[in-house]
């Protein structure tokens, strides 16, 4: 089993290599192999990418995700836009067959 410091470094490196993400925007802490992610993004795709990058790291037992999505100029997205962004993000995750996933959004 990895120690917390090694797991923290591995998660930070995984996030660093995701093209949509800037590691400085994401707070990462680890306790007992449970990873907490914090930060603020301007899109749901970035939030999903941060979670997916973390899930791929060997040794992560669970993820506590506290990432907020705040749109520039308080632009709210429709439920349809949110669903489309999530599906677009998942398309780039080859390990997930899209025909087995359903996305439901109600009131943003």
Domains of the chain, earliest start first: 4-74 (3.30.1340.30)
Whats the size of the chain, residue-wise? 108
**pTM for the full model?**
0.67
Task: Decide if pLDDT at 70 tops 70.
Answer: yes
Phi-psi region of 33 (alpha: psi -120 to 50; beta: other; left: phi over 0): left
pLDDT for the residue 85: 85
> What percent of the chain stands above pLDDT 90?
49
Average pLDDT of the segment spanning 43-64: 93
């Amino acid at each position: 089993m990895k120690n917390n410091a090694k797991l923290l470094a591995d998660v930070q490196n995984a996030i660093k290599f995701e093209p949509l993400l800037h590691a400085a925007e994401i707070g990462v802490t680890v306790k007992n192999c449970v990873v907490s992610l914090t930060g603020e993004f301007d899109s749901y795709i970035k939030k999903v990418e941060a979670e997916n990058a973390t899930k791929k790291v060997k040794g992560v037992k669970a993820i506590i995700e506290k990432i907020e999505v705040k749109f520039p100029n308080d632009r709210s997205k429709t439920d349809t836009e949110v669903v489309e962004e999530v599906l677009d993000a998942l398309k780039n995750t080859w390990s997930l067959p899209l025909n087995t996933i359903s996305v439901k959004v109600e009131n943003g």
